[in-house]
Structure 1
């Protein structure tokens, strides 16, 4: 195989990977996860890509004296959602890259 054919094949492979990455990123934005804290009193819905969709705070927490606790619970729910989003994202990216001829230890996205 001459160098020109090898370069063309490499470019086609790169284009294919880029297309698959775009499709995977779009899919991640359509998968939803829910972060929860305070035994379900605070919930955060997010996409697997990390976009926040909604925040729900039980009305029993909406008293001025509980402000600090509510803030802590919201932060915990966000972190829970982020962890779940990362887990789903990593699983989806692993599925996408499973069929690609990548060197050992090579991680996507680039």
Structure 2
């Protein structure tokens, strides 16, 4: 019975840490780049785009498709970085817990 109570207490502590981490993800920022840094997209770890920076040399009407492709690439780069950052932080949170292999949080 003691083990169950200890496990419940540990779960409550984990729940609070998880809530704190979710709030932190709103403030953590990543920057995705494309075109050798010609396009930069800054987003939160949760994927909310905060800013976009485009090198003025890309502002050519005939190259609209290139700019669109670079924007997509930069957003996808930022999203990938955000996902890796979240996985890293969640790994730190769950380190040492007796979770079955492959089990991810949140449940």
TM-score (norm 1): 0.84
Match of 1:78 in 2: 75
Q: 2:95 aligns with which of 95, 98, 106?
A: 98
Matched, 1:44 2:41: yes
- Structure 1: which 4+ aligned runs deviate by more than 3 Å? 8-14
Shift of 1:11: 4.5
5+ residue gaps, structure 2, are none
Count of residue pairs brought into register by the alignment? 107
SS at match of 1:80: helix
Shift of 1:24: 1.2
SS at match of 1:35: strand
5+ residue gaps, structure 1, are none
Match of 1:31 in 2: 28
TM-score (norm 2): 0.86
CA RMSD across the alignment: 1.9
